[in-house]
Amino acid sequence: MSDTPHYINHRKRLRERFQKTGAVGMHDYELLELLLTFSIPRRDVKPVAKKLISKFGSLSGVLDADQKELEKLNGIGSMSASLISLVRELYSTYLAEGMKVLDVVSSPKAVIDFSRVKLSGLSNEAFMVIYINVKNEVIDYALLQEGTLDNVAVYPRRIIESALSHHASGVILVHNHPSGNPAPSKEDKLLTKEITDAAYALDIRVLDHLIVGKDGYFSFMENSLLTLD
């Protein structure tokens, strides 16, 4: 009988499947398992992958998880937690780069996808501004403020100042709802109105305000809630 641990051949088969067909036909836990083989070299990682998905609810839940929360799970050390977080950040950067070459008015999905990856998994509310030029192309983006589980303090003046410093002709506002439900609150609507009015006075367009969460997104533009007095 061979002394080779059973998981060695299993890892080889996983790699060969991925090299041949990519993710087609692979379970989420198998993709995560394959990723973990790069940080856990001498152990069967299938139980760890399944445990991660069970704890965080889905593969996207695992990728959205805070690194400290990942490290608390038995079998996941700092190397594996860092690798998982790195995958999310790489994907976020990939989406950000793709977003910058598009007219965001005619291609709003690119902004939505980026915003959801960037913010929807955070445990506290955060507010981000995406800066737009006269051609409706993305100049840059910045996370301006982080708050608590259900609140983030945002000041319209700071947003306008940041837009001016980026020489932006327009902005897209984005914040997250950690609860998962992206429906806007009364305070969200009031804040949007205050920012829109302040921006309009300086000839800066507010193209949209997106609220993102694990349950989806809400667009003020799509719901005709960007108004001026």
What pLDDT is attached to residue 91?
93
Portion of the chain with pLDDT greater than 90, in percent: 64
The structure's pTM equals 0.83
Per-residue pLDDT tens over the stretch 157-216: 999 999 999 999 999 999 999 888 899 999 999 999 999 999 999 999 999 999 998 889
CATH hierarchy code of domain 102-219: 3.40.140.10
Per-residue pLDDT tens over the stretch 101-128: 888 988 899 999 999 999 888 888 899 9
Task: Name, in order, each residue with C-beta under 8 angstroms of 127's C-beta and a sequence gap of 6 or more.
Answer: 143, 144, 145, 146, 147, 152, 154, 173, 174, 175
Distance CA 210, CA 97 (A): 19
* H helix or E strand, kind and range, residue 79: helix 78-99
Would you list the domain boundaries of the chain? Answer: 6-91, 102-219
Architecture of domain 6-91: Orthogonal Bundle (1.10)
* Amino acid code (one letter) for 175: H
CA distances from 175 to 7, 26, 44, 118, 169 (A): 43, 33, 39, 10, 20
What pLDDT is attached to residue 3?
54
